[in-house]
Structure 1
């Protein structure tokens, strides 16, 4: 009777968490000026573990395209164990730690590993202002991102959006306006996403699930893939959309769900892949800014709106439907999405 009582309201609280992050950022303009606006860095490196690494990928992609500067994302462990393989020696580097709790051992070890390395500066983003991460580095803080459930949902959305808003502050008013427009759509998207996922799962079961995304949506595809694994114990995989055609598509057969996070940048190419998977017998779900004649072949389409916005600005709008898909799958299986087996909210080494 108590299954999902933590996760469900946290998925549903994304609009409020994003709005709170937007307001909080107004009080952290000095952080933006000190770190993101400083063009003297040769490389900006976003790091995290698990979900935090996946959002780091979207953050880095947004940084590159909106600011035209070099940025990468790495798992935290790559920095403290394989730093020279991840980042070339001698470069002036800004290291941005990403962690919901601010207590993940790997991100703390990564920050500690560079504290005496010349030309490295550290900062971060978290949901906990008194965490180990916040004690080691100046951090953006998503005030309503805090969660009781093990799985990341509103924390992921609010932290990703907050970092994008920080990047947009440097990029200029046009990008801030795009994010404000996306934020205004979030409440309606979350509401519609719940009913959409519930209906989808109530009508059918899938033997396999594949998530596909490109560009700033690749990290999101990895994240929603993880959500289904964590919450419902379903084996899933994620790939770059066009990369999926190079071998992995051999696993597609009837009973396979292929969910494509459709960008506007590569829309025609991504939809060709989706149509191909449909021909192999897959049930095709598209998450897209707007449905059209070119999406009519799909078995299910969820529209986010905001088709006039950049792909990056719409990024967090793609999450609710697929987070709810994980939640509803767990509930249908009779497992508890609040407390996944073998998992803890904070991973300690």
Structure 2
């Protein structure tokens, strides 16, 4: 993984390939490359630097051609190095790029070595290139189809051959791939955004599809067991967002996206005049009437938004709710309930673990499915019966910010829709919640005004290597998200705990060098939280407290307090997470890390 672009055209497509890679940089990557058919030969450039360096390299080497493929890689097999970067060649005849993981690559590698193939990388991808070459007998389309029968695991591939100019073949299983239809030309990409400005005519390839791209035409076959059959896939008009490229007055995309949250949340809630099931789809009323529990499946930041929603769903809608890490759920024995609403949460809608968990839940007979996602055309949305599309816009920074708060907005709407349908929401309560939601963007703007105070704290945090985060009740998942943000972009080891758990082990870590960040809204648990804070102070720990204006927590020696402008009740988590984002961001700036592209991480994780 992480990003694929390919093209067949009469014009030089190298600028299109490189620009497509730039549009996919938001996913995160550690190497990149491009290969084209030029002068009857394969030409290639690869780099472990940024796409801008690759662009300079292809210009200096005069790499050009009308048929080619390009890739950004996030390392899974083999270290980030030029020899492991895609595209991979086989005998200077086959060029191939790949997203996903081939689980039987060791077995295939041994077989192909026995046939005389030399391996120059540690990747599973090179195995596919050599396998296609081994099966090639003058027809690349047939060779790729036959190769897919031998591959176990997940893949999206794009491949071309020296001996067949103006032809690219793609295939997908478990990893996204789209076809772009242009005037007299065809494109492949892992994301419609890669083709923004090139074509808006998109075909979403389905599981097992193999596609043959030629000049101004294409063929698609669908895999059915060991056979393939010709199919027609709908061509959709998709206007991919391109407005994220301008940083404006901000230093990094992450900072820009933190400050876009009032607008993103307002857009996500736009048009909501009441809490009716049809916010989630035409069939939502029937489905919501039939469910008696909720199962939330998600990974990373999305998991923490789901963990927050559990408190809302059980306290407001009075419906039993489980939250599962998607990567664990499908590999354990569980007790399925066909009356469960299965809710998947994903920024991209392509997260492999979450998609696999959704399919597993459906295989167990749980057909009531809903996805909360930022991409309306994503695989997860298409797989689910219901959906709520957040309107965060393109999120470039790998560490999620506005996607998280808009997910919380969508989950709160789900809570109120279920509460109303189940008779737990009065007319007066509905009116008050509408008023509070409409004020939420302004409240967020007030929190952002705290940035100068948070910058001062970040100078202290930049010198630390460890931190603890504490929260109680509804704000425990917010503490978890704050710790995740700090570790993601600053590389400071950070852990979060329910504050009541402090004395059950983590207190052993507390000393003067361990900053303890505390999320302290003025809610029913604030007095309990104050007792936990005293436990920290008694051991010489340094407290950094995000409190509400009226929570009666005062600054003193060893206790630093930043006050949020107002307490926002059940919606308080949406406000309290913002200063945690800012703290992580400014600490990362002070430490000089790569904020938008932290090491080892990818934005859209399309492998298990």
Q: Distance in 2 between matches of 1:305 and 1:135?
A: 41
Q: Distance in 2 between matches of 1:19 and 1:48?
A: 24
User: For the structure 1 residues 35 and 224, does the alpha-carbon distance in structure 2 shift closer, same or farther, using more than 3 Å as the test?
Assistant: farther
Partner of residue 406 from structure 2, selected from 140, 158, 164 = 158
- Matched residue, 1:147: 395
User: For the structure 1 residues 35 and 243, does the alpha-carbon distance in structure 2 shift closer, same or farther, using more than 3 Å as the test?
Assistant: farther
User: For the structure 1 residues 145 and 220, does the alpha-carbon distance in structure 2 shift closer, same or farther, using more than 3 Å as the test?
Assistant: farther
- Matched residue, 2:297: 47
How far apart are residue 8 of structure 1 and its match? 1.0
Size of the aligned set, in residue pairs, is 342
How far apart are residue 346 of structure 1 and its match? 1.1
Range moving further from structure 2, 207-216 or 27-36? 27-36
Is contact 2:297–2:358 with CA below 8 Å preserved after alignment? Answer: no
How far apart are residue 253 of structure 1 and its match? 0.3
Q: Could you say which structure has the larger radius of gyration?
A: 2
Q: Distance in 2 between matches of 1:180 and 1:289?
A: 20
- Is 1:78 paired with 2:328? yes
How far apart are residue 282 of structure 1 and its match? 1.6
Q: Which has the higher contact order (CA 8 A, sep 6+)?
A: 1
Q: Distance in 2 between matches of 1:35 and 1:223?
A: 30
How far apart are residue 124 of structure 1 and its match? 0.9
User: For the structure 1 residues 222 and 275, does the alpha-carbon distance in structure 2 shift closer, same or farther, using more than 3 Å as the test?
Assistant: same
User: For the structure 1 residues 97 and 292, does the alpha-carbon distance in structure 2 shift closer, same or farther, using more than 3 Å as the test?
Assistant: closer
- Matched residue, 1:304: 564
Q: Could you report, residue by residue, the CA deviation over 1:115-168 in whole angstroms, capped at 9, with x for unpaired residues?
A: 243343111101111111111113211122430111101110111122213323
Partner of residue 308 from structure 2, selected from 53, 58, 63 = 58
Range moving further from structure 2, 128-137 or 88-97? 88-97
Q: Which runs of 4+ in 1 moved over 6 A?
A: none
- Which structure is higher in strand share? 2
Range moving further from structure 2, 269-278 or 195-204? 195-204
- Which structure is higher in helix share? 1
Question: TM-score by structure 2 length?
Answer: 0.53
Structure 2: any 5+ residue segments left out of the alignment?
A: 1-246
- Is 1:333 paired with 2:581? no
Partner of residue 214 from structure 1, selected from 456, 469, 472 = 472
Q: Distance in 2 between matches of 1:44 and 1:4?
A: 40
How far apart are residue 256 of structure 1 and its match? 1.3
User: For the structure 1 residues 304 and 145, does the alpha-carbon distance in structure 2 shift closer, same or farther, using more than 3 Å as the test?
Assistant: farther
Q: Distance in 2 between matches of 1:90 and 1:168?
A: 23
Task: Report matched runs for 1:1-349 at 5 Å.
Answer: 5-23=252-270, 25=272, 30-32=278-280, 34-35=283-284, 38-84=288-334, 88-90=335-337, 92-137=339-384, 138-169=386-417, 170=420, 171=425, 172-192=430-450, 194-203=451-460, 205-263=463-521, 264-297=523-556, 299-307=559-567, 309-310=568-569, 312-347=570-605, 348-349=607-608
How far apart are residue 175 of structure 1 and its match? 2.9
